[in-house]
Amino acid sequence: MLGAAGSGELWLGIGPAALRAELRAELVDRGEIVALGVEGMRGGRFVVADELPLLAQAEREIAAEAAGAISRPGDGPAGVSFLAPLDPLMWDRDALEPLYGFDYRWEVYTPAAKRRWGYYVLPILFGDRMVGRIEPRIDRASKSVRILGLAWEPGFDPIEAPGFVPAFSAALASYLAFGVADALVPPAGMAHRALFREVAFAAPVRRAPAPRAPRGAARKSASS
């Protein structure tokens, strides 16, 4: 859905706001894009006319679900995706926050001391919900993917959510293949241990190394 002010990945380099408005009006007049309103969002949006049948299908699916239909088009196990920070969905914060209730900022250029989540954090999409954030780091030397950070949205329990563990495991296995890595190294600490015990049935998990004690502390322990 294109915002009224344009969208970076589509309008970049086209020209100033006045020219973009003129071009947008021409597309509307030719019937190539159609204006629409989205509940919960301020301002108008536009959709490519060829995609109107997809909107109609979505409306039918929602109506069928509300009526208690056992199955509907598009039904199936929900998958998990790790979204790149430069995915167009992540750029459009005016749509992301009201539609998904998800506050995301790419912090790669944020000073380390001011980061809230991490250097290169990927949103976790489960079905049609944003449920968390993950920061995977490919370690070429050890042929592993280290999970530097993992956090869930308020109210989401990864163990209790139906279908999440297998979908999350599959997404991690795909990330291992992408990184040409042999094993996952989960976050340090106890918080995610139960989850990664389940993940280990679908993807190789390597125990995180224990943190090293400071040199002074090690000498003191040896001499006592």
Distance CA 145, CA 23 (A): 46
Assess whether pLDDT exceeds 70 at residue 202: yes
- For residue 3, report the phi and psi dihedrals to the nearest 5 degrees: -75, 160
Q: Which residues of 198-222 are buried (b: 16+ CB within 10 A; e: fewer)?
A: bbeeebebbebeeeeeeeeeeeeee
The pLDDT of 73-77, averaged and rounded, is 66
Q: Quickly state the pLDDT bin for 2 (edges 50, 70, 90).
A: confident
Q: Is the pLDDT of residue 222 over 50?
A: no
pLDDT at 74: 57
State what percent of residues in the chain have pLDDT above 70.
Answer: 85
Q: What is the pLDDT of residue 221?
A: 46
pTM greater than 0.95: no
pLDDT score recorded for residue 208: 63
Asked whether 189 and 98 are in contact (CB, 8 A), the reply is no
124 in Cβ contact with 134 (< 8 Å): yes
**pLDDT above 60 (res 211):** no
* Of 70-84, 92-106, 160-174, highest mean pLDDT: 160-174
pLDDT mean across residues, the chain: 85
Collapsing DSSP to helix, strand or coil, 51 comes out as helix
The better pLDDT of the pair 224, 159 is held by 159
Min mean pLDDT across 4-8, 22-26, 29-33 is at 4-8
* In the predicted structure, residue 4 carries a pLDDT above the cut 80: no
Among residues 8, 55, 12, 66, which one has the least CA distance to residue 33? 55
For residue 218, the model assigns a pLDDT of: 47
Mean pLDDT of 98-103: 88
Q: What is the pLDDT of residue 78?
A: 86
- pLDDT computed for residue 210 by the predictor: 56
Q: What is the pLDDT at residue 32?
A: 94
Q: Once rounded to an integer, what is the mean pLDDT over residues 13-25? A: 80
Which whole number is the average pLDDT over 30-44? 85
